[in-house]
Amino acid sequence: MAGDQAVVIKKVKKGGDHGHHGGAWKVAYADFVTAMMAFFLLMWLINTTTPEQKRGIADYFAPASVSPSTSGSGGVLGGTALGEDGAQSQGSSAVIERLSPDAQRDTPSDEQVQPDPAQQSTSADISADAMANALARREEAEFQSAEQSLRQAMQDMPELAELSNHIIIEQTPEGLRIQLVDQEGRPMFRPGAAEPNDRAIVLLRAVAEIASNLPNRLSITGHTDAGPNPSATYTNWELSADRANASRRILQQSGLSDDRIAEVQGKAGSEPLFPDDPTLSGNRRISITLLREAPVLPPGHGL
């Protein structure tokens, strides 16, 4: 038809701005930014880590075989390392050499570095201190377990639950101290008598059961109040010592061996539990202390 117009499709070819390099510069720039970020991260880590952490990192990346040379050609990390010792420090090679004292050195015998006695002594002291701290923590945990076991036994056993007011448990510099204390109208011993009554025997047996699970030796001390003993020839000193010794016999009859007893003593009224009123019945007590010391040797292993 004459009125129809032809449709013309024109293809326009746009010229690219990256005709010379195709956008490869973007990849190179991204690699550069990544490398700079890694570099600044490395600098930050070096500034924030301690010398011990630096040595640990050096040990981790050190190869199995390291050249004794301190030059850069001695292998991975074989050259100098950044650290508080400056640029002339030996880096990871020095760490490997210290960890391998038997390695052969390519230096004359008169130039070999002799071990520093002061450094060896310091290392021995640190090891001894670490061992002592570990033993102290273990002993502390054992004392806490013993205290919890005794308190749990007093809750679970009816015959002990009613006697809970007679027991005081505390940790002291000497060790775990368990005190069997008289209550007003409810004594642990008959007046003037050295043998414990049934109430005290039940408590002593409970203490012996807990103490038998620990290696510590025991110190047993008897205390009286400040009131004078009616007998002129049998004072509170003899009475407190005899009560402590009677308590020892109950403990040993309940399973404690003779080598677990460190000392048995009587202190009369010289160390009252209530200093403001030395005549109170609570001052009359038996104190049993699990001592903080090394375990005793088994029978037959002594000198």
Q: Please indicate, yes or no, if residue 297 is contained in any of the structural domains.
A: no
User: Do both 287 and 138 map to the same domain?
Assistant: yes
Are both 139 and 267 inside the same structural domain? Answer: yes
Sign of CA dihedral 282, 283, 287, 291: positive
Of residues 63 and 130, the one with the higher pLDDT is: 130
Number of structural domains the chain divides into: 2
pTM of the model: 0.53
Check pLDDT > 50 for residue 206: yes
Q: Is residue 123 part of a domain?
A: no
pLDDT at residue 293, rounded to an integer: 73
Tens digits of per-residue pLDDT, 172-201? 889 889 999 998 888 999 888 999 999 899
Q: Where are the alpha helices (DSSP H) in the chain?
A: 24-48, 51-61, 92-99, 117-156, 158-161, 198-211, 236-253
Angle between helices 117-156 and 198-211 (to 10 degrees): 140
How confident is residue 3, by pLDDT bands cut at 50, 70 and 90? low
Tell me the C-alpha distance between 240 and 248, whole Å: 12
Tokens of 93: 């090679």
**Radius of gyration for the chain, computed over Cα atoms and rounded to the nearest angstrom:** 40
Name the residue with tokens 């050195």: 105
Judge whether 122 lies within some domain. no
Are 282 and 142 within one domain? yes
Same domain for 142 and 282? Answer: yes
Distance CA 277, CA 226 (A): 9
In a domain, 5, yes or no: no
- Which residue has 């012996």 as its token pair? 208
Q: How confident is the model at residue 22 (pLDDT cuts 50, 70, 90)?
A: low
Residue 191 and residue 283 share a domain: yes
Q: Classify 155 in phi/psi space as left (phi over 0), alpha (psi -120 to 50) or beta.
A: alpha
One domain for residues 63 and 159? no
Last residue of a domain, one of 91, 106, 121: 106
Q: Give whole-number Cα distances, 15 to 2, 11, 12, 22, 287, in Å.
A: 38, 13, 9, 12, 101
Domain extent, residue 49, equals: 25-106
CATH number of the structural domain spanning residue 242: 3.30.1330.60
Instruction: Note whether 225 and 284 are same-domain residues.
Output: yes
pLDDT grade for 276, boundaries at 50, 70 and 90: very high
Q: Is 244 left (phi over 0), alpha (psi -120 to 50) or beta?
A: alpha
Residue among 209, 286, 219 nearest 247 (CA): 286
- 207-252 pLDDT, tens digit per residue, is 998 888 888 899 999 999 998 888 888 999 999 999 999 999 999 9
Percent of the chain past pLDDT 70, that is, above it, reads: 63
For residue 45 the two structure tokens come to: 């880590």
**What distance in Å separates the CA atoms of residue 161 and residue 61, rounded to the nearest whole number?**
62
Q: Which range in 86-100, 120-134, 148-162, 267-281 is most confidently predicted, on average pLDDT?
A: 267-281
Do 145 and 215 belong to one domain?
A: yes
Does 17 reside within a domain? no
The more confidently predicted of residues 107 and 291 is: 291
Q: Are residues 156 and 286 in the same domain?
A: yes
- Kindly state the DSSP code that residue 263 receives in the 8-state scheme: E
Statement to judge: residues 37 and 153 lie in one domain: no
pLDDT in tens, 50-93: 777 777 777 776 655 444 445 444 444 444 444 444 444 444 44
* 121 in any annotated domain: no
Residue closest to 222 by CA, chosen among 199, 205, 239: 239
